[in-house]
């Protein structure tokens, strides 16, 4: 074991590859072997949250942009995927409209539904639409030098507006949302093998996202993003436009959130306004803060941990989990700004400070010829 540690220290480039290999073994080997189908599907749901958290870690942790509205982009990807799956199920049954529309008395397919009957158009919309909306919003906000609490309030208001808008639209399921999906691009969701396939897709996507974020952090752009966070005016003085740097990070976070939402829909089997409003957006942020927003794996592990705790503890303490979640957020922000990922350096520093300082032996006096003659 010591030899392995020494080799990793000697070759820094091997360390991330070793980490990815360990994560791949856990996700693709250990988890399917030890978890039941229900728990594996639950973990796939948590991985979707981790993808969103990775994007927030880039925008907030590295760029200092408090994004309280990631539920918007998560919801856009989720609803586009849900609409495509509903239309595919309706076409397979020979219906002109999805079943929920027939129940609601809607006999004609709305115009904005029609493009998403095509799988390529739906996939293109999932990839492009969240990023495009984020680019438009970011251009209007960052070019005007809106930042800090003002940007956070604006992004949160956007999430609230979208949730309210979707709640009143019966053509998109209204308050109950869209559910009862039968197939995912031709694969039956009732088949356990296909459910496991969705987990593998989510796991592979998360590993690719982590690799992308790591590359961005280590690039020149990552250095500029940190510089904008810490000294925006100095970056502007050096000839860079901080707004463009922020917009790219914000668009990347929205792009990842849209992908996560598209994966969330077939994994969970339902998407509703309750999944994309203010509360889910804040929950994403809490996971990132608890895990450690300035680190690479902190947001990912924090999002998974908080989601797991919410699922486990809310079953036993339905009314107490919300308070516990708030307390955790306050404690982390107030006393551990680096999150749980920053605990180890603190503990290590405390341990090093408690170690006794080794006594330094007094130097042996040197006897010179002059001293010998004097004697």
Say what the pLDDT of residue 244 is: 92
- Tell me which residue of 102, 73, 247 sits closest to 170, measured CA to CA: 102
For residue 342, give the DSSP letter: G
Say what the pLDDT of residue 296 is: 86
Say what the pLDDT of residue 172 is: 85
The token pair at 198 is 């969705």
Any bridge partners for residue 271, and if so which? Answer: 178
The token pair at 15 is 């360390």
Say what the pLDDT of residue 59 is: 92
Mean pLDDT within 156-185: 84
Instruction: Give how far Cα 68 sits from Cα of 65, 152, 303, Å.
Output: 9, 6, 15
- pLDDT more than 70, % of the chain: 84
Q: Which positions ≥6 away from 221 have C-beta within 8 Å? A: 245, 248
Say what the pLDDT of residue 54 is: 94
For residue 362, give the DSSP letter: P
pLDDT(291) > 80? yes
d(CA 156, CA 192): 37
- Per-residue pLDDT of 128-142, as tens digits, reads 999 999 999 889 888
Say what the pLDDT of residue 33 is: 92
- pLDDT more than 90, % of the chain: 37
- The position carrying tokens 């500029």 is 224
Contact by Cβ (8 Å): 95, 102: yes
The region of weakest confidence among 34-38, 255-259, 273-277, 301-305 is 273-277
Instruction: Give how far Cα 33 sits from Cα of 39, 267, 296, Å.
Output: 11, 19, 27
d(CA 54, CA 305): 14
pLDDT(15) > 80? no
The token pair at 208 is 């690719």
Instruction: Identify the residue with better confidence: 251 or 365.
Output: 251
The region of weakest confidence among 120-134, 281-295, 313-327 is 313-327
d(CA 87, CA 37): 27
Q: Radius of gyration of the chain from Cα atoms? A: 26
């Amino acid at each position: 074991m010591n030899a392995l540690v020494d080799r990793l220290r000697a070759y820094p480039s091997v360390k991330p590859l070793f980490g990815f290999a360990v994560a791949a073994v856990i996700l693709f080997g250990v988890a399917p072997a030890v978890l039941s189908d229900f728990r594996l599907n639950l973990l796939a749901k948590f991985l979707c949250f981790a993808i969103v958290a990775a994007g927030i870690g880039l925008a907030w942790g590295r760029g200092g942009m408090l994004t309280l509205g990631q539920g918007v982009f998560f919801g856009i990807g989720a609803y586009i995927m849900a609409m495509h799956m509903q239309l595919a199920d309706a076409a397979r049954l020979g219906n002109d409209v999805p079943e929920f529309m027939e129940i609601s008395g809607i006999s004609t397919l709305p115009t904005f539904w029609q493009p998403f009957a095509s799988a390529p158009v739906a996939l293109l919309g999932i990839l492009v639409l969240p990023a495009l909306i984020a680019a438009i919003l970011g251009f209007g906000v960052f070019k005007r030098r809106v930042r800090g609490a003002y940007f956070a309030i604006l992004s949160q208001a956007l999430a609230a507006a979208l949730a309210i808008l979707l709640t009143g639209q019966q053509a998109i399921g209204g308050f109950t949302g869209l559910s009862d999906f039968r197939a995912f691009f031709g694969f039956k969701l009732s088949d356990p093998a296909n459910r496991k396939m969705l987990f593998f897709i989510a796991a592979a996507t998360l590993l690719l996202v982590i690799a992308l974020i790591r590359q961005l952090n280590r690039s020149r752009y990552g250095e500029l993003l940190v510089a904008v966070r810490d000294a925006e005016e100095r970056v502007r003085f050096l000839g860079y436009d901080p707004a463009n740097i922020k917009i790219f990070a914000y668009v990347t976070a929205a792009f990842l959130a849209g992908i996560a939402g598209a994966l969330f829909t077939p994994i969970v089997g339902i998407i509703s306004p309750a999944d994309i409003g203010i509360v889910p957006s804040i929950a994403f942020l809490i996971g990132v803060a608890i895990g450690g927003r300035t680190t690479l794996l902190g947001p990912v592990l924090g999002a998974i941990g908080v989601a797991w705790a919410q699922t486990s503890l809310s079953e036993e303490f339905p009314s107490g989990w919300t308070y516990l979640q708030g307390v955790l957020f306050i404690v982390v922000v107030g006393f551990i700004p680096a999150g749980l990922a920053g605990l180890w350096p603190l503990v290590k520093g405390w341990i090093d400070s408690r170690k006794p300082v080794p006594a330094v032996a007094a130097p042996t006096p040197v006897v010179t010829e002059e001293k010998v003659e004097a004697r």
